[in-house]
Amino acid sequence: MFASFRRHKWLWGVIFGLTILSFVWFFTPQAQRGGGYTGSGKEPVGSINGVAVTRDDYLNAYRESELQFFFNYGRWASEDQQARQLKFIERQTRNRLFMIRKIEALNIQAAEGATAQWIADAFRDPEEKVFRKDNYDGFVNNTLTQRGFRKADFDRFVRHEIAMEHLVALAGITGKLVPPQEAELRYNRENEEVKTKAAFLWSSNYLDSVTMDPVAIATYYTNQQATYRIPERVQVNYVRFVATNYLDLAQTAMASNTNLTEIIDATYLQRGTNSFFGDNNQPLTAELAKDQIRKEILDQYALVEARKKAIDFANELIEMDPKTNNLVNLAAAKGIPSQVTLPFTQFSRPPELSVPDTFTTAAFQLSPEEPVYEQPIVASDSVYMIGYHARIPSEVPPLESVRLRVTEDYKRSKASDLVNSAGSVIREAIASAIAGGKTFDEACAEQKLTPVDLAPFSQKSQMVFGIPGSGNLPALKNAAFALKEGEISQFTPTREGGFVVLLESKKQPDPEKTKEALPEYLATLQRNQQNQAFSAWLGKEMAASTIVLPNDPDASESAN
């Protein structure tokens, strides 16, 4: 890994100087913007159905995918942990390249004036409903340039967004074929309300009835061993370069930035004047907000200085025998403390450290044969160098070491069995009592249950007032809407117990409200159906294609 860097240590400084918080992959726009690549943009880096994808093609689609994320979510993908973990931009770049090829093949182009209308809609004031040219200018002149984008990138992104809307409309046309009669039926079904009563049983009430048989507990453990298996874990040695140790150097570096005031002002405007709050949760004045931004920038400069120190350490480390774990020895020679993490799995991080997921990824690449990860790992407040310490194989712990957990699991499992058995019996007793002329409330009282009078709800309700605890709403809906008026459901188990529900009445939505809401509902339904049809079409088209792209998370899926 990074073996070529051993011959060119100066490259560390160049590469690490390109970004603030993360390392970048060679093909990404960040690397291109940094000027590190001097080859031809026409150089092939992949292909779609045998037709070459050039470096420019890939970089342009990558930039557009970043912009798409920004306009959809109001933040950059690099600032979103889930987007980074799921490689959202890489996946979207793949999809976007494919759709661009389809657009070109079908000769779909943005209509005259459509680009200006898209921009006007995107930068429309939500309250005044008018185009805000100052917001647009600030985005083009500040936000884009600060991220290394060009206006041409944004213009191309908008043209492709419009063309893709046409592609969706064309490929998803079958989804729009929803007649008004079907839409009305769906609307009525979704908005029909039911009035119900329910009786809830809870597993916790049966815990004391469970017989704690040691033999049964041991058998339960044997049958559930996979649940208690401890996955493979690793421990690494690490050297930590804490950013706050380099604030003096950061102050000096920041003082040399002649554009600092402009950057702070632009950041303040970009985030919005109502985005800054003090410890009392009150909005900050412009002066205090800019002080806050200045502190954030200072922290970033300090992190850069910490990274420089880590780079110096890494340069010395890679000159040593790469097959020997010299990290601890080098740290000791320099008087830098090294430590060992607690064990952690491939799906977690060291519990005592605040580190990114790349720390775990790097740790699990280490081995006695490759004991040092030569790339510094940048966290929010520190930079780390790590080396192999130990790998702990997956194991099934002996019963005695997890007996308390197994005992609690066994007890809950048996309580669940008891409540299910009791629930079926209680349901039949309630049904018999109602058949004999008693009310639901009276029948529940005989079973020492408290009936709950639930608020009316529909299929689209997200919550129902009256459900105690964390009652299972989807299960309640399924049970209630399957009943006729006056019927009671079978006992329905849930994670925490179960319930019986009585349907008192059903109420159709008001005809006048239905008539008023139907046009918008039909348009929404058609749009959703159209998107589903397009997604199905796109999935089939891509599955039938041969797509070869750099850093493709879905490479295995695209093999044809």
| Predicted local distance difference test score (pLDDT) of residue 147 | 80
Residues 368 and 459 in one domain: no
Residues 248 and 328 in one domain: yes
Q: How far apart are CA 133 and CA 448, in angstroms?
A: 68
| Predicted local distance difference test score (pLDDT) of residue 93 | 93
Residues 96 and 135 in one domain: yes
| Predicted local distance difference test score (pLDDT) of residue 471 | 58
Structure confidence by residue, pLDDT tens digits, 472-487 = 888 999 999 999 999 9
Q: Is residue 12 part of a domain?
A: no
The arithmetic mean of pLDDT across residues 224-238, rounded, is: 95
The arithmetic mean of pLDDT across residues 125-143, rounded, is: 85
Structure confidence by residue, pLDDT tens digits, 191-217 = 999 999 999 999 999 999 999 999 999
Q: Is residue 25 part of a domain?
A: no
| Predicted local distance difference test score (pLDDT) of residue 34 | 37
CATH number of the domain within which 73 lies: 1.10.4030
User: In 3D, which of 474, 21, 469, 508 has the Cα closest to residue 203?
Assistant: 469
The arithmetic mean of pLDDT across residues 302-310, rounded, is: 94
Q: Name 488's Cβ contacts closer than 8 Å, sequence gap at least 6.
A: 427, 430, 431, 434, 440, 500, 501, 502, 503
**390-396: long-range contacts (C-beta < 8 A, 24 or more apart)?**
390/234, 390/235, 390/343, 391/232, 391/233, 391/234, 391/367, 392/232, 392/233, 392/234, 392/235, 392/343, 393/232, 394/229, 394/230, 394/231, 394/232, 395/229, 395/230, 396/225, 396/228, 396/229, 396/230
| Predicted local distance difference test score (pLDDT) of residue 322 | 62
Residues 73 and 155 in one domain: yes
Residues 385 and 407 in one domain: no
Q: Is residue 29 part of a domain?
A: no
Contact present, 6 and 12 (Cβ < 8 Å): no
The arithmetic mean of pLDDT across residues 526-530, rounded, is: 86
Residues 337 and 455 in one domain: no
Q: Is residue 22 part of a domain?
A: no
**335-340: long-range contacts (C-beta < 8 A, 24 or more apart)?**
336/239, 337/239, 338/237, 338/238, 338/239, 339/237, 339/238, 339/240, 340/235, 340/236, 340/237, 340/238, 340/389
Residues 388 and 248 in one domain: yes
Q: Is residue 138 part of a domain?
A: yes
- Beta-bridge partner residues of 449: none
CATH number of the domain within which 417 lies: 3.10.50
pLDDT at 12 over 60: no
Structure confidence by residue, pLDDT tens digits, 245-271 = 999 999 999 998 888 888 888 888 877
**Model confidence band, residue 27 (pLDDT cutoffs 50, 70, 90):** very low
Contact present, 338 and 327 (Cβ < 8 Å): yes
Q: Is residue 182 part of a domain?
A: no
Name the packing angle between helices 260-271 and 286-319 (round to 10°).
110
Task: Pick the more confident residue, 6 or 456.
Answer: 456
Q: Is residue 115 part of a domain?
A: yes
How many C-beta atoms surround the C-beta of residue 365 within 10 A? Answer: 13
pLDDT at 23 over 70: no
User: In 3D, which of 31, 170, 28, 174 has the Cα closest to residue 99?
Assistant: 170
The arithmetic mean of pLDDT across residues 495-501, rounded, is: 93
Task: Pick the more confident residue, 146 or 431.
Answer: 431
- Domain of residue 374 covers 233-392
pLDDT over 70, % of the chain? 91
Structure confidence by residue, pLDDT tens digits, 86-115 = 888 999 999 999 999 999 999 998 887 899
Contact present, 21 and 383 (Cβ < 8 Å): no
| Boundary of a domain, candidates 345, 370, 392 | 392
Contact present, 106 and 167 (Cβ < 8 Å): yes
| Predicted local distance difference test score (pLDDT) of residue 351 | 93
**Model confidence band, residue 15 (pLDDT cutoffs 50, 70, 90):** very low
Structure confidence by residue, pLDDT tens digits, 403-423 = 999 999 999 999 999 999 999
Structure confidence by residue, pLDDT tens digits, 324-344 = 789 999 999 999 999 999 999
| Boundary of a domain, candidates 368, 392, 416 | 392
**How many domains, the chain?**
3
Residues 387 and 408 in one domain: no
Residues 315 and 445 in one domain: no
Residues 371 and 252 in one domain: yes
| Predicted local distance difference test score (pLDDT) of residue 14 | 32
Task: Pick the more confident residue, 539 or 5.
Answer: 539
**Residue 232, CA atoms < 13 Å, CB-side half-sphere:** 7
Residues 384 and 237 in one domain: yes
| Boundary of a domain, candidates 392, 411, 431 | 392
Q: Is residue 13 part of a domain?
A: no
Sign of the torsion angle spanned by Cα atoms 25, 28, 34, 35: positive
pTM over 0.75: no
Q: Name 299's Cβ contacts closer than 8 Å, sequence gap at least 6.
A: 243, 250, 381
DSSP class per residue in 232-284: PEEEEEEEEEEGGGGHHHHHHHHHT-TTHHHHHHHHHHHH-TTS-B-TTSPBP
| Predicted local distance difference test score (pLDDT) of residue 491 | 96
pLDDT over 90, % of the chain? 55
Residues 274 and 388 in one domain: yes
The arithmetic mean of pLDDT across residues 370-391, rounded, is: 93
